[in-house]
Amino acid sequence: MKIFLTGGTGFIGSEVARRLRARGDEVRALVRNPARAAELENIGCTLAMGDVGDQTAIRETMKDSDGVIHCAGMYEVGIAKSRRPEMYAANVTGTENVLGVALEQGIKKVVYISTVNAFGNTEGRVVDESHLHSEKYVSYYDETKHLAHKVAREMIDRGLPCVIVQPGGVYGPGDPSPQGNLVNQFLAGRLPAMMFPETGINLVHRDDVAQGIILALDRGRAGEQYVLGGEISTMGGLIETVAKVSGKKAPRVTIPAAMIKATAPLGPVVGPMLGFGPNLGEIIRAADRVTYWAKDDKARQELGYSPRPLEQGLRDTLAAEGRLPVSAR
């Protein structure tokens, strides 16, 4: 198959590209920065310079493709308000452009990578694909991904043979996400206390998500959406499991929510010191009494999706990074 891929230099997209090439697919990757695309070139992808804001580049690169996988997007929580147009352009306008061109060119199969965050705060419930967002947003990232998800649904209504997949909280080797930052802080001995350990998240290994995306391309029913999860947990549960795998002791102290909220005005200073963005108020809103819980039964039943348990996934991650203690191997 000839696959047009966006986001191929990203955390998830790079693994999707590797797996597509390993099975013999031709991959045409739209990339903004050639310096970051060396690995794609090394595995035999055809590179095209451009981004999801460039409809001309999208049209030229997508032409005659059998399928499209749209992975590109901007994932950050706590960004400065001045960067919101950049995030909207990447997540919403970019999705309109890629899916719009796919519809225009009559592409036979499209996979759009949404997120469980497109459901918003599930308020302690484990939801499924039928869940509707309350449209009360806890972060601008959630808002833009919900809007992009709606764009995909609108394109489906217009006849686009698109499958939507919704990964949970993705982790794995080289994880650049907030949970990856938390794990790194813990392993480096810089996490003496937890903040918002009850934040709920469905944790899933990056490689399992990449495989789920390919399963959606091959087996997913056009017009359907599938949650790609792993294990329902919390941020506290994540660190407890990392502690178990690494042999380190998890922090037993939790910083009171009121104390954390009191530091919100100092976000531009405190946020970067903690490895977060400058909008600490948004980070707090996205964590305090918030759950992003969704079940992946549909993907397991219809796609043959089979993610690994959290403990095994973390063990695999630390092993791949060379950080798994000899005693734990």
Which has more pLDDT, 268 or 259? 259
Residue 254 lies in a domain: no
Above 90 in pLDDT, residue 326? no
Q: Does residue 258 contact residue 284 with C-beta atoms inside 8 Å? A: no
- Please determine, for residue 269, whether its predicted confidence score (pLDDT) is greater than 80: no
Residue 272 phi, psi dihedral angles, 5° rounding: -60, -30
For residue 329, being part of any structural domain is answered with no
Average pLDDT, whole number, for the chain? Answer: 94
pLDDT tens digits for range 87-131: 999 999 999 999 999 999 999 999 999 999 999 999 999 999 999
Q: Among 129, 94, 100, 117, which residue's Cα sits nearest to residue 216?
A: 129
Question: Is residue 288 domain-resident?
Answer: no
Classify residue 218: in a domain, yes or no. yes
Taking the C-alpha atoms of residue 3 and residue 65, their distance in angstroms, rounded to an integer, is 6
Query: CB–CB of 102/64 below 8 Å?
Result: no
Label residue 328 by pLDDT band (50, 70, 90). Answer: low
Count of structural domains, the chain: 1
Residue 273 has pLDDT above 80, yes or no: no
Mean pLDDT of 132-152: 96
Residue 4: pLDDT over 80: yes
pLDDT at residue 263 greater than cutoff 80 = no
Residue 270 confidence (pLDDT) above 70: no
The helix (run of H) or strand (run of E) holding residue 26 is strand 26-31
- Name the pLDDT band for 268 (thresholds 50, 70, 90): confident
pLDDT above 70 as % of the chain: 96
Residue 329 has pLDDT above 70, yes or no: no
Please report, as a single letter, which amino acid is at residue 283. Answer: I
- 30 falls within a domain: yes
Note whether residue 74 is domain-resident. Answer: yes
User: pTM score, two decimals?
Assistant: 0.95
pLDDT for 265: 77
> Does residue 150 sit within a domain?
yes
Tokens of 308: 């690994």
Name residue 259's amino acid: M
CATH of the domain at 67: 3.40.50.720
Query: Is residue 258 in some structural domain?
Result: no
- The domain in which residue 21 lies consists of 2-168+205-229+295-308
pLDDT in tens, 194-214: 999 999 999 999 999 999 999
